[in-house]
Amino acid sequence: MSPTAEAPTPRALPIALILALALAVSFALGTRSYDDAYITYTFARSVAAGEGLTWQGHPGLGTSSPFLAVALGGLERALPLGIPVWGAVLSGLAGALGALALWGLGRREGWPWGGLAAGLFWLVWPGRYGHLGGEMALAVAAVAGAAWAFSARRPWSAGILLALAMLFRAECGLAAPFLAAALARRDGLSASLGAIGKAAVTAAGSVAIWAATLYALAGTVVPRTLAAKQAQAACSLGVWRTSGWRFLAEEGAWLLDAAASGLGILFALALVGAVVAARRKLRFGSALALWGVAHLGLLALLGVPRYTWYVEPFRFALLVAAGMGVSAPGSLAGRSLRRARWTVAVLVLVLLGLGIDELVGLARREGDTRRAAYGEIVEAADAYPEGTSLAAYEVGYLGFSSRQPVLDLLGLVTPEVSLDAVRRGDFAAIRRSLDPDLLVVPVAAGPLGPALLGDPGSFLAEYRLDRLVLGRDPNLALYRRATLEGRGPVVRDLLPDLEADGGRVDVRMLEAVGGLVLRLAPGERRVGALPAGAGGELVFAAGAETAGGSLHVDLGVSGESGRLAEIPLDAAGHWTFQSIPVAPDVLPRSLAFACAEDGGADCLVGIPHLSATR
């Protein structure tokens, strides 16, 4: 052991600590995941059912990790616990194996306590748990394992682990030259060529076998996802996280924001770790850190949107660098050494405490709210006859949970979608080309909803509001084809009647909610019809772009009308959500919205409908 290296750690205690923490975290977080993981889960379910790598039985390789889909499908076929359960199991293994690899690497290079700290940071890193069930953590853990294998002079194992990293996530093959360079710097180029060759042959052979298998399963070896994600990044609507150099700028902004929080300790340790790695020649720890930085640059060059799971290797590199920083006191002696070790120990405990506190809060929360929101959409869609098509921007939860064919407006899993139209942001054209029976429209500020609706008049001629999901993230509206008879508890869309009475239907966004609205000028009144027996809750959003008006709601029967509500519109750019009981009646009635003449401002009536059970 070099004079500046740390004393070796005992083996049993760190292993037990890592495994216990990994198990506790896995049990606490369960099967929570994110929408993109459910895309892979849907392909995995097809594999388990013997349908190959298909989306609900239809061809189209729309997952960025077909290898994970096959692995999950094979596990489910062997032991049917449920695809999400297997996804959680593999995520737990990624955490444990990645942490063990870092600890083992630290032992090999003389920073065992730093390696243990880095492994524990990896286990409690909150950012990793926003995308449980995905492939990136598995790929990162495989790269960490390959670094350990190279350091332990096990080139065959290193090759297999590098192959696994590439199979889980192709761009993680970028780690190979960094690890090879680390080996060459440690052993010399000529002495390391044999080991590098063994690893390269093993990795290349494994990837070739998988490529042949993938072609047999899917008829292609190139998933559509990269082109689809690049089209999103290039979309003229500017919705998705920026790409190119802006990708790097956004990650830099995240670093600055995070540094102002408790993560500033982590970044300080990472900076110290960079110095330590250079002075002590920690070859493979440095290789992992440099790979993470290079991976960030590769993503910028690929021109894909900035999703948090894409930058996992870079954030993993920060954890590795921080672990090397933990080993800094090893270069000191005497009282300075003791003080430095206590200081670092306190900092490590603070970081672990912050991470565990965040994980406890995450475990107590509901999980991804998209699952609940899309669950309501699935319930409504599955009430329709089998084969009723459903189109949406986000299709993971829908595709996995619904028995209906789910169409992807962004083109990841639906090859019929024109990626040129995605780049133009012409989602109304995509909607018309897919011609879905049911359509999920985001009810949120931003251009996606309006782009999908297109011309409001034409849209209302084709579709009717079927279900509105508010109070979730995201807020969603489900529309059905106008010729499709409603099933289950549907709503009565009031906009078509109000438009038929001469009303101006527009698309407007106020605050975080928007969609189809009736625009009324001061003094304007529009009337819709309620058939006999119609009743329920009259639900709508009242708003104005300038303050000062008021909205009147009247209910009439047999030529006489009474006022249901008078709503002041005192706040510009603000919705007030209204829910007014309307009792059923044996007679047909009229329902009128009127904008006060003396207000001086247009009134907006957002997505008016009568909530009722058919």
Q: pLDDT (tens digit, 9 = 90+) per residue, 378-402?
A: 999 999 999 999 999 999 999 999 9
Task: Name the percent of the chain lying above pLDDT 90.
Answer: 51
Say if residues 331 and 344 touch (Cβ distance below 8 Å).
Answer: no
CB within 8 Å of 342: residues ≥ 6 apart = none
332 has a pLDDT exceeding 60: no
What pLDDT is attached to residue 94?
A: 96
Say if residues 570 and 548 touch (Cβ distance below 8 Å).
Answer: yes
CA distance 18 to 29: 17
Going by their DSSP bridges, the two strands 560-569 and 549-557 should be labelled as antiparallel
How sure is the predictor about 593, in pLDDT bands with cuts at 50, 70 and 90?
very high
Cα–Cα nearest to 355, from 123, 131, 30: 123
How sure is the predictor about 43, in pLDDT bands with cuts at 50, 70 and 90?
very high
For residues 200 and 607, the model is more confident at 200
What is the mean pLDDT of the segment spanning 130-157? 94
10 has a pLDDT exceeding 90: no
Mean pLDDT of the chain: 88
Angle at 357 between CA 29 and CA 361, to 5 degrees: 50
For residues 57 and 460, the model is more confident at 460
CA distance 466 to 197: 61
How sure is the predictor about 534, in pLDDT bands with cuts at 50, 70 and 90?
confident
CA distance 8 to 5: 9
Say if residues 551 and 569 touch (Cβ distance below 8 Å).
Answer: yes
How sure is the predictor about 337, in pLDDT bands with cuts at 50, 70 and 90?
low
What pLDDT is attached to residue 3?
A: 40
* Token pair for 225: 């996802």
What is the mean pLDDT of the segment spanning 323-342? 69
Lowest mean pLDDT among 274-288, 356-370, 495-509: 356-370
What pLDDT is attached to residue 279?
A: 81
User: Which of the given ranges, 191-200, 320-329, 508-517, 542-551, has the highest pLDDT on average?
Assistant: 191-200
Tell me the per-residue pLDDT of 535-564, one tens digit each, with 9 for 90 and over: 888 989 898 888 878 999 998 876 677 888
613 has a pLDDT exceeding 80: no
CA distance 501 to 511: 28
CA distance 604 to 109: 67
One-letter identity of residue 398: L
CA distance 160 to 397: 33
What is the mean pLDDT of the segment spanning 332-360? 74
pTM for the model stands at 0.90
What pLDDT is attached to residue 511?
A: 62
Tell me the per-residue pLDDT of 209-261, one tens digit each, with 9 for 90 and over: 999 999 988 888 888 899 999 999 999 988 886 767 777 888 888 888 877 77
For residues 371 and 166, the model is more confident at 166
CA distance 599 to 239: 35
Tell me the per-residue pLDDT of 65-123, one tens digit each, with 9 for 90 and over: 999 999 999 999 999 999 999 999 999 999 999 999 999 999 999 888 899 999 999 99
Q: By CB neighbour count within 10 A (0-12 exposed, 13-18 middle, 19+ buried), where does 614 fall?
A: exposed
349 has a pLDDT exceeding 90: no
CA distance 523 to 596: 5
How sure is the predictor about 8, in pLDDT bands with cuts at 50, 70 and 90?
low
575 has a pLDDT exceeding 70: yes
Say if residues 285 and 111 touch (Cβ distance below 8 Å).
Answer: yes
How sure is the predictor about 194, in pLDDT bands with cuts at 50, 70 and 90?
very high
For residues 9 and 215, the model is more confident at 215
Task: Name the percent of the chain lying above pLDDT 70.
Answer: 94
CA distance 112 to 104: 7
267 has a pLDDT exceeding 90: no
**If residue 571 lies in a helix (H) or strand (E), which one and from where to where?**
none
What pLDDT is attached to residue 558?
A: 63
Count helices and strands (H / E) in the chain: 22, 15
**Alpha-carbon distances of 289 from 120, 178, 279, 319, 322, rounded to whole Å:** 17, 10, 15, 9, 10
38 has a pLDDT exceeding 90: yes
How sure is the predictor about 330, in pLDDT bands with cuts at 50, 70 and 90?
low
What is the mean pLDDT of the segment spanning 165-174? 96
585 has a pLDDT exceeding 70: yes
How sure is the predictor about 42, in pLDDT bands with cuts at 50, 70 and 90?
very high
Cα–Cα nearest to 505, from 608, 366, 382: 608
What is the mean pLDDT of the segment spanning 183-210? 95
335 has a pLDDT exceeding 60: no
Phi and psi based region of residue 219 (left: phi greater than 0; alpha: psi -120 to 50; beta: remaining): left
How sure is the predictor about 181, in pLDDT bands with cuts at 50, 70 and 90?
very high
CA distance 84 to 530: 45
What pLDDT is attached to residue 533?
A: 82
What is the mean pLDDT of the segment spanning 604-613? 83
How sure is the predictor about 135, in pLDDT bands with cuts at 50, 70 and 90?
very high
287 has a pLDDT exceeding 50: yes
